[in-house]
Every structure is written in structure tokens, then in C-alpha cells.
Amino acid sequence: AAKLAGRGRYIAFQPTMKRDFLRRQRLIDDLRRSIGNDELFLLYQPIVDIRTARTKGFEALLRWRHPELGLISPGEFIPLAETSGQIAAIGAWVIETACRQAATWPGHLFVAVNVSARQFADASLLEHVRARLVANGLEGRRLAIEITESMLIDNDSTALSVLHELKALGCRIALDDFGTGYASLSYLTRFPFDKLKIDQSFIRAQNDKDSAAIVSMICALGTRLGLEIVAEGIETEAQRLLVEAMGCQLGQGYMFDRPLAIGATHARLAREEEAQAAGRTGPFFAP
């Protein structure tokens, strides 16, 4: 009977494996046409002052509207773009689009762009960033590059020199999803970071004493190192209050806003302007 059950499971499992494999193959093929077919677009999630909720910048988040399969999340297609050698082209499109659209915002706002490890291996990345900044009249300090810990572990010395050259352009460097990887703390002093983004898993688990201790430790450490701290995934006022009390300056999450289409970013900024003009700047300005 045990043998039968085992075989039964095996037979039942196989079709899903095949289906997943076929979907991945299809996405890899279709991704090649996505840029030319105008299927990629960026959403922008506000990164705000944790006390006032005023917008300080936006993180560009990539989306793919597949003509038959609908909206596909970056969590699914970015890894496929990386393994199939398409991440350089897609990453270049993201930087180009983000720089062009960020140039439509007031000059004090930044745009943060996610750059994956494989993109850093691409020699043309730096030249592309420089060219897009110049072409759009965007000051380097208005572009933040978000990288993850895994990138530092994978290609240590290349990563370091590219990061220094990005800094020379004025760009800010943010360490994303901090606390979830396996990087040692010495990376924080060896790499030229400006910001630390605390991973949302720690914020979500804020009722858990251990997670709260980690968030508080990251805030203290980051502050001592002169880094700006961003808390990701803030969904509730309780979470906002907690990270504010721990010394975190910036926040991002559904509580403030979801990722927005470029037009909606302008509407949000206009609402903020109005509120400011009307004197509604109170301790916690809800947009």
C-alpha cells in the first residue's frame, strides 16, 4: 500500500512539474519580445518621511503585462531574465525609463532602481547610467541604486569598484532586504552604502520580540554608521510608530501608498502640495 501511495504521489506530481517547466520556457521566450512590444512598465511606490508621510522619493518596481497571461510579477520573471541572459537589456530599459520619468518630478525627489547581481557583471551598466542621467538632466544624487546582500557575496571586487564609480556620479547606494541574506556586518563598512532598507519580514513580525530586537539593532547600527534607514512593508500605524521610535527616518509600505502608475505619482504630489499650502502639515500627514 505504501508503494502504491508513493507511486500515486509521484504520478500526481509530474504534471505540475511539467506545467511549471513549460510556463518558464514560455516566459523566457516571450520575455525577448516584451520590450519591443511595450509590455513592460514601471510602478512607483512612495518612500516617505516616517513622521510626516511626506514623499521623499519613489522606488521603481517593474511589471510585465503579458498579452495572454496577464500581469506577471518581478518575483517570477526577473530570475528567468537572469538565467536566460536577458537581465542586461531589461535592466537597461528600467534605468532609462526610471530616469526619464523621474525627471518629471520636483528636483528634491529621488528615484530608487533595483539592480540585480547579474547586471553588475555587465560592463556597460555604468556608461548607461551616466548617459541616461545626462540625457534627462537628472542629477546623480536623485538616483538611488538598490542592491541586495547576495550580490556582494557573488562578486565582491567587481561590485565594489562599480559601486564606487556610481558614487562618483553622485548616485546613492541602498542595501535592500537587509537582514535576510548572509552578508557579514563588515560589508557595511567595506561598501559605500548610503541607505539600509530593513526587510519587510522583520516589520511584519513586529509583535515578535526577536524581530523587534533585530529592527532596533539595525536602526542603532545604521545610525551609528551614518546611514539612512528605510523600513519596508509598513502596513499599520502600530508598525509606523514602532520604527519611528527606533530611529528609522524613512518608510515605505501599503499604509502610505501602493506602487503607483506614473500619472498617479503626479496626483499624489499635487495633493501633498495642496495640503502643505493649506497648512495641513501636522505630525502625521495622511495623504
Positions in the binding site for ligand C2E (CB under 6 A): 45, 61-62, 73-75, 78, 94, 114-116, 146, 176-177, 200, 232-235, 252-254, 259
Interaction partner, residue 97 (Mg ion, ligand C2E, none; CB < 5-8 Å by kind): none
Using left for φ > 0, alpha for ψ between -120 and 50, and beta otherwise, residue 88 falls in alpha
Say whether residue 114 binds Mg ion (CB under 5 A): yes
**Single-letter residue type at 41:** F
Interaction partner, residue 154 (ligand C2E, Mg ion, none; CB < 5-8 Å by kind): none
List the one residue from 49, 122, 165, 177 that touches Mg ion (CB under 5 A).
177
Interaction partner, residue 45 (ligand C2E, Mg ion, none; CB < 5-8 Å by kind): ligand C2E
CB of 261 to Mg ion, least distance (A): 18
Interaction partner, residue 140 (ligand C2E, Mg ion, none; CB < 5-8 Å by kind): none
Q: Which of 147/162 has CB closer to Mg ion?
A: 147
- Residues in CB range of 106: below 8 A, 6 or more apart: 269
Q: Which of 13/41 has CB closer to ligand C2E?
A: 41
**Single-letter residue type at 135:** A
Backbone angles phi, psi at 163, to 5 degrees: -60, -40
Q: Which of 58/105 has CB closer to Mg ion?
A: 58
8 A C-beta contact, residue 93 and residue 35: yes
| Strand duo 250-251 + 40-49: pairing | antiparallel
Q: Which of 18/258 has CB closer to ligand C2E?
A: 258
List the one residue from 176, 228, 244, 257 that touches Mg ion (CB under 5 A).
176
CB of 194 to ligand C2E, least distance (A): 16
8 A C-beta contact, residue 239 and residue 245: no
Q: Which of 232/272 has CB closer to Mg ion?
A: 232
Half-sphere exposure of 5 (CA within 13 A, CB side): 2
Cα distance between residue 217 and residue 228, in whole Å: 14
Cα distance between residue 240 and residue 233, in whole Å: 10
Place of cell 510608530: 241
**Nearest residue to ligand C2E, by Cβ distance, number only:** 253
Secondary structure element (H or E) that encloses residue 90, with its range: helix 87-102
Q: Report 125-164 residues binding Mg ion (CB under 5 A).
A: 146
C-alpha cell of 223?
A: 545610525
CB of 27 to ligand C2E, least distance (A): 15
From 132, 153, 179, 106, select the one nearest 145 (Cα to Cα): 132
Interaction partner, residue 116 (ligand C2E, Mg ion, none; CB < 5-8 Å by kind): ligand C2E
Q: Would you tell me which residues interact with Mg ion (CB under 5 A)? A: 114, 146, 176-177, 232
